[in-house]
Structure 1
C-alpha cells in the first residue's frame, strides 16, 4: 500500500474553498458583505503571498462560523456545495483521486482550510480521511470560534499527517512510495518529505522550486483556472 496525499484548494479544486465560503456567506446575507469581503480578500492575499498568520486567520474564519448553530451551518453548506463547489469540480481531478483509491493506496486530503468547510468536499471526492484545521465544539456540537490545536499549515501539515498515520499504525517514512499533490509554496515542507512530490497547478513560487528540484509538474486545469 502506498500513500497519496492531496492538498485541496487550487490542487483538486480550481478555487479556494475557504475564500469562496466567505464570498458565499456575504452573498446570502449571513455576514455584512462589504466589510467581510474586504477582510476576506486581505487574508486571501496574505495566503497567496506566503505571509498568512494561520492562527489569526482561522480565528477570524471560525469566529464567523460560531455566530450560527450547527444546524444552520449544515444547511448553508448544502447550498454552498450545490451552488459553488460541485459545479467547479472537474472530472480530471476526480479521476486522479480515483486512480489512487482504485490502486488501494491510503488516501487523505491535507488542507489548511477548516474541517467544517472541507469535510463534505472530501467526501464528495470519495476520500474518507481528512486532515484539516479542527474547530473547537461545545457540548451541543456548535462551533465556539476557537481553533483546536495547531493549524494544518506549512510545517503543521507534517505534524498532523504524522499524528494521523501514527494513529493508523503507519509512519510517513515507511511507505515504499508516498505522493503529495499541491499547488502552493506553503506546502514545500511536506512536499520535501514524500518520495513523490508533484507540483499540481503550481503557483509561480512552487513552480520555480519544483523546476529547481526536478519535481514533476501536473496541470489538472486546462481552462485557465489554475493558480
Structure 2
C-alpha cells in the first residue's frame, strides 16, 4: 500500500481555511471583525513571505476559542465546511483522492492549520488520517494554546515521521 500525502490549503481547496475561518468567526460575532481580519491579513502576508512565527499566529487565531468547548466549535465548523469550504474544493483534488482510494493507497492530509478545521474538511473529503496543529484543552475547554510539534515547515516532517512510526 502506498501513502498519498496532500497539503490542504491551495492544494485541495482554493483558499486558506484558517483565513476563511477568521472571516467566519467575524460573521459569528466571536471577534471584532474589522481589527481581527486586518491583523489576520497582516499575519498571513508574513506567512506568504515565510517570515511568520506560527506560534504567534496560533496565539492570535485561537484567542476567540478560549473558554469554548470542542463541541461548541464543531457545531459551527460543520456548517462552515459545508457552506464555505465545499464550494472551494478543487475538482481535480476529488479526482486524485478517488484515484488513490481506488488504488488502495492510504491517504493523509497534513496542514499548518488547526486540527478542528483540517479534520472536519478531511472528513468531508473522506480522508481519515490527518496531521494538523493540535489544540490544548483544559477541563473540556480550549485553552488557546497548542500542544505538540506544530505541523508547520519542518514540523510537518517531524510529525509525519512520528505518525509513520506509530
TM-score range, shorter chain: over 0.9
Q: Deviations over 1:136-193 (max 9, x none)?
A: 11232x21111101211111110000000000xxxxxxxxxxxxxxxxxxxxxxxxxx
Q: 2:95 matched to which residue of 1?
A: 95
Q: Give unmatched runs, 5+ long, in structure 2.
A: none
Runs of 4+ in structure 1 off by over 3 angstroms are: none
1:73, distance to aligned residue in structure 2 (A): 1.0
Would the aligned equivalents of 2:30 and 2:64 in 1 still touch at CA under 8 Å?
no
1:98-156: per-residue Cα shift (whole Å, max 9, x none)? Answer: 2112211121001000101111100111111000010011232x211111012111111
Give the aligned partner of residue 66 of structure 2. 66
When the two structures are aligned, how many residues end up with a matched partner? 166
For 1:82, what is the secondary structure of its paired residue?
A: helix
Deviation of residue 67 (structure 1)?
4.2
Separation (CA, whole Å) in 1 of partners of 2:82 and 2:107: 24
Preserved CA contact (<8 Å) 2:135 2:142: yes
1:39 maps onto 2:25 in alignment: no
Match status 1:163 vs 2:162: yes
Cα RMSD of the aligned pairs, angstroms, is 1.2
Q: Taking structure 1 as the reference length, what is the TM-score of the superposition?
A: 0.70
CA–CA distance in 2 between the matches of 1:82 and 1:110? 20
Unaligned runs of 5+ in 1: 168-227
1:83 is matched with 83
SS at match of 1:134: strand
Q: Which of the pair has more CA radius of gyration? A: 1
Compute the TM-score of the two structures, normalised by the length of structure 2.
Answer: 0.94
